[in-house]
Amino acid sequence: MDISPYFGSRTEIGQRFAKELSILNYQNTAILALSPGGVIIAVEIAKKLHSIMGLLLIKHIRLPGDLPYGMINDHGSFTTDRSITISEAEEFKAEYRNAIEHQKMEAMHKLHIVGREGVLKPDYFKGKNVIVINDISKTGTSFQAALDFLKTAELYSVTLVAAVASEEAADTMNKLGDRVLLAHKEKFDLPAEHYFANNEIPQTKALVKMMEQVILQW
């Protein structure tokens, strides 16, 4: 597989992953995208696999100094960033409680504004071969957040997919998933422009419409 750090677009990566995942075609799959960029990749895979799909909206929660603390999804579930220890998380929570709670409230408000109509529930994925997709993963926390969301769904299998992942994120993905697909593993935190020539990403409502159109096609 070509692991060049420069790709034409997320669509290109999605088509490449779709070929690699063709073994799952008609195998009761469900796709969960974790970011707007992840949706563009996911749509191409869903077309190939004739799969249902959804978007789990996630916002980062950061400490003063722009340090990572965790992620909250549009259902209100919080996942601590995998780059900090349990004891560190407790210390940060005690020291920055007000700032953290304020960020959570702001994040939930923003997520509700951009969110799709209807509520995505874990049961949507019950008993399925689930493919969780992000375009760029820096720590792997987004994948942990997705599995926290899906923990009651009794999944048949979990495939974790990222176009670009840090070495830390790749290690996390390998620990969490039954199958992992990466287009490029990166040592450094570089901007998206370093990886994709085309970085145009539609607004969330347009992305939801894209997902709905894919499902309607079959």
Going through the chain in order, the beta strands assigned E by DSSP cover 29-33, 52-55, 58-63, 67-73, 78-80, 129-137, 157-166, 179-186
The CATH number of 10-57+119-216 is which of 3.40.50.300, 3.40.50.2020, 3.30.390.50, 3.50.30.30? 3.40.50.2020
Interval 176-180 mean pLDDT: 97
Q: Is the pLDDT of residue 215 over 80?
A: no
Buried b (16+ CB within 10 A) or exposed e, 140-163: bbbbbbbbbbbeebebbebbbbbb
Question: Would you state the pLDDT for residue 77?
Answer: 85
Can you give the pLDDT at residue 119?
Answer: 57
Q: Are 7 and 34 in contact (CB under 8 A)?
A: no
Name the band, by pLDDT with cuts 50, 70 and 90, for residue 14: very high
Q: Which pLDDT value is given to residue 144?
A: 94
The structural domains of the chain, with segments of one domain joined by +, span 10-57+119-216, 60-114
pLDDT surpassing 70 at residue 43: yes
| Prediction pTM value | 0.85
**pLDDT tens sequence across 56-79:** 888 889 888 888 899 888 778 899
Length of the chain: 218
- How far is C-alpha 118 from the geometric centre of its chain's CA atoms? 19
pLDDT tens readout for residues 114-147: 444 445 788 889 999 999 999 999 889 999 999 9
Which of 23-27, 131-135, 188-192: highest mean pLDDT? 131-135
Q: What stretches of 64-203 show up as alpha helix (H) in DSSP? A: 86-95, 97-114, 141-150, 167-176
